Structure 1
Amino acid sequence: MVPFPARPPNCRRALVDLASTVQRTRGGAVPKRPRVVVSVGASVDGKVALTRNALLMHQPNTDLWSSMTPEAPDSVAIDVIEVVRRQHGCNAILEGSGSLVAEDEIPDELPFYDGDADGLYNHFLPADVIEQQSPEHMWFTVVDSRGRVRWTERHQNWDALVLVARSTPADYLGYLRRERICYLVVGEERVELSRAVSAMATELGIRCILSTAGGGLNGALLRADLIDELHVTLAPALVGGLGTPSIMDGSPLAVGEPPTRLQLLSAQTDTAGAVRLHYAVRRS
C-alpha cells in the first residue's frame, strides 16, 4: 500500500501564482527548470533510516524514528511543504520507489500486457486528469523505472506521477494506464533526472519540486547538479551502521572534483536538542 501525504495547506498567494504559471506554460511559454528543494530528517550522524531495508513508513520503524526527537515547546519542526508552496509555488513532491517498497519485497504480479507495447513508451497524461486540477493540486511523483510500486490510494487534490524509462516493463506501463496514473518516459535504461525535471516543467507546468526522498535519489540529484535548496532537521540521536542510508548517497566524487558548496540561510535549535538547518546551493 502506498499512502499519499496529507492534503497540503492552502497558501493563497502561492496558489494564485502557480495557476498563472500553468496557464502561461499551456499558452506556449517555455518554463525554466523547476527549482528543486530537498527536505530531509536525519540523525546527528546523517542517517535517514534505521537500517538499509527498514522502511520508515512501516512499524515499528515509524515509532522508533519519531522517538529520536523528543517534544519541545520551542520545537524547530516546520511544514516544509507549506513553506515551499508559499515561497516558490511548489506543486510536486518527489520520492524514490525505495522509500515505498523495500528492496527485498516482491511486488504483486501484474497481468501480462499482450497488446502493441510500442505505444506505451510515450508520456501518458490523460486530459481528464491534468486538465481538471484545482490551483492547490499537487503531484506525488515517484521514480520507478523497474515498475515496483503498486498504487492503492487516491487523495483529494493529489495525483500520482510516475517517472519511468524505456526499460520499464510493458506490464507495468499497461497497469498505470488502466489505473489512469500519469507517467513520463524520461530515460533509456533508467530515469534521467535532468530530463525528468525538464519534462515536469514543459508537460505539466511544474515550477518547484520538493524531494522528500532517501539518500540514493537525493545523491543522484546532487550529482546531476539539480539541487537548489536543502532543509535538514537533525534529531538528537545516533544511528550508525555501515551501509545505513545517509542524507546523500550514490556515486562518490571523482578524483579532484570539488564538493558542492552551500550557503547557510538559517539555523535553529530547540530545548530538546533538535537542529534545523536551511541552505542554498552556491553555484558561483
Structure 2
Amino acid sequence: MAAAPPERPRVVLTTLAGVDGRITLRRDQVLLEPSVGERWRAAWPDDVEGLLARRDAWVEEHHAPTATLEGSGTFVVDGTSSPWAQVGGPWDHPDHLPRRAPHWFVVVDGRGRVDWRFTGDDTTALLVLVSRATPPGYLARLRKLGVGWLVCGDERVDLAVAVRRLGGELGVRCVRADGGGGINGALVRAGLVDELHVVTMPVLVGGLGTPTFLDGEPLAPDGVPVRLRVVSVERGAEGSTWTHYELDGA
C-alpha cells in the first residue's frame, strides 16, 4: 500500500450511505437529533452494523488513526449563525492547546457555530480548527470550556494547512475523516484524501439538496472526476457492501 506524502498525515475517509449517496434524511435535520437518528437507523439492513464494525477494525489495525475529523455540519443545520458573532474585542487569539490526549476529536468550525457539550474525556481531547475570521467571542467560549484550537487560515479554515499542522505539531500520522459531504468534498478537492471506505446500503432517501457523502464545491468548468482504484469489496448478507478505494496518486 502506498504511503502518504511525508509532509502530512494519511487521510482515510469513511462513510455510510444509501445507494443514492445520501448520508442523512434531510438538509434541515442532523443525525445527532435522537428522533432523526432513530429513523435513519431504522432503515439499516441487518448486515450494516457488521460491515461497519469490520471496516472500523480494519482501519484501526492498518492505520491506527489518532485524530477523527468532522465538520460543523455534523452538529448544526445549514443557516445556523454563531451565537457569539457580536461578542468579543479585537482578534488576537493565537493557537490554544490547554491539554493533550492520545486521541483528538477535531472539528472544523471557522464560523463558531457549535455550542459544545462534549469537550473530551480521559483519552480524547476536542480540538477546533478556526481561522482569523472566527468570532473572538467563540474563542473565549472555547477557552472557558477548556477546549483547544488551531488557527489554520485567514478568511476560512485551510484544510491543507490544518492537516499538516495536525501531523507536524500534534504528531498525528493518520486522520480519519468521518464527517459530512461538505468537509469530505473540500478534502477531496484539496487533494488530501488517500483512501476511501464506503459502506453502501440498499436504501433510497432522495430529495433535491439532501446531503450526500461528497458535496461542497462543484467540479471546475475544466475539471475531471477523481479516479479511484478498488482495493477490495465485501458484501453483506442483505446486499450492503463495504468498498475500499484508494485515490490515484495516493
Deviation at 1:107, TM superposition (A): 6.0
Q: Give matches, 1:139-154, under 5 Å.
A: 139-153=104-118, 154=120
Equivalent residue for 1:85? 60
- Number of aligned positions between the proteins: 244
Residue of structure 1 in register with 2:97 after alignment? 125
Kindly state the Cα deviation for residue 59 of structure 1 after the two structures are TM-superposed. 2.7
Q: Distance in 1 between matches of 2:46 and 2:211?
A: 25
Larger Rg: 1
In 1: Cα distance, 2:61 partner to 2:135 partner: 38
Structure-1 residue corresponding to 2:192: 226
TM-score (norm 2): 0.90
Aligned positions of 1:12-27 closer than 5 A = none
Once the two structures are TM-superposed, the CA of residue 79 in structure 1 deviates from its matched residue by 5.2
2:72–2:108: 8 Å Cα contact kept in structure 1?
yes
Instruction: Give the root-mean-square deviation of aligned CA atoms.
Output: 2.2
In structure 1, give the amino acid aligned to 2:194. Answer: D
**Equivalent residues in 2 for 1:248-267, closer than 5 Å:** 248-267=214-233
Cα 1:173–1:74, aligned 2, differ >3 Å: closer, same or farther? closer
CA deviation digits over 1:195-239, x for unaligned, max 9? 111111111111111111100110000100000010101111111
What does 1:93-172 align with in structure 2 at a 5 Å threshold? Answer: 93-105=68-80, 112-113=87-88, 117-118=91-92, 120=93, 122-126=94-98, 129-130=99-100, 133=101, 137-153=102-118, 154-172=120-138
Of 153, 158, 162, the match for 1:192? 158
5+ residue gaps, structure 1, are 1-30
The question of whether the paired residues in 2 share the 8 Å contact of 1:91 and 1:207 is answered with yes
Q: CA deviation at 1:86?
A: 2.2
SS of the residue corresponding to residue 60 of structure 1 reads helix
- TM-score normalised per structure 1: 0.80
Indicate the percent of aligned positions where both proteins have the same amino acid.
40
Given the alignment of the two structures, is residue 178 of structure 1 paired with residue 139 of structure 2, yes or no? Answer: no
Q: Deviations over 1:51-108 (max 9, x none)?
A: 1121011132111211222214994232544433321231000110011112244665
What SS class does the counterpart of residue 52 from structure 2 fall into?
A: coil
1:10 alignment counterpart = none
Structure 2, unmatched stretches of 5+, are 1-5
The verdict on how the C-alpha distance between 1:255 and 1:175 changes in structure 2, with shifts beyond 3 A counting, is same
Given that 1:68 and 1:236 are in contact with CA atoms closer than 8 Å, whether structure 2 keeps it comes out as no
Gap change, CA 1:106 and 1:195, over 3 Å in 2: closer
Give the aligned residue type for 2:232: S
Find out whether 1:49 has 2:21 as its counterpart.
Answer: no
Query: For the residues of structure 1 that align with 2:84 and 2:139, how far apart are their CA atoms?
Result: 13
| Distance in 1 separating the partners of 2:225 and 2:139 | 38
Look up the SS of the partner of 2:226 in the other structure. coil
CA distance in 2: counterparts of 1:81 and 1:73, whole angstroms: 12
